[in-house]
Amino acid sequence: GQNIDQPTEMTATEGAIVQINCTYQTSGFNGLFWYQQHAGEAPTFLSYNVLDGLEEKGRFSSFLSRSKGYSYLLLKELQMKDSASYLCAVGTGGFKTIFGAGTRLFVKA
């Protein structure tokens, strides 16, 4: 079967760095996406990886290892507004997208 695993919840302190892991097993792979979703709102795109390695975008970085079926999202200089759910998603064979259940991040002062 196909599945994506990520931790349910994480807590971190304002100003710190947090790493959210995602492991996946899918039939086919067309890239891995990270989305941010604040409570009561729609998901918004953060990053995309299709090749192995690190992609950096401001305070956010995303890493991919296709051989290990593993990705992580790194958030630096955490701010209170980063409190949200972070969704890992994989574009599988064809045009389907599989999402993980999401990681709820709490940023405390």
User: Within 13 Å, how many C-alpha atoms sit on residue 7's CB side?
Assistant: 13
Judged by beta carbon, residue 57 or residue 77, the one nearer other proteins is 57
Cβ neighbours around 46 below 10 Å, total: 16
For the segment 43-82, give every residue that binds other proteins (CB under 8 A): 43-45, 48, 50
DSSP 2-20: -EEE--SEEEEETT--EEE
Q: What backbone phi and psi angles, to 5 degrees, belong to 45?
A: -70, 135
Q: Is 89 in the site for other proteins (CB under 8 A)?
A: yes
Q: Is 23 in the site for other proteins (CB under 8 A)?
A: no
Judged by beta carbon, residue 21 or residue 30, the one nearer other proteins is 30
Which residues lie near other proteins (CB under 8 A)?
30-31, 33, 41-45, 48, 50, 87, 89, 91-92, 94-102
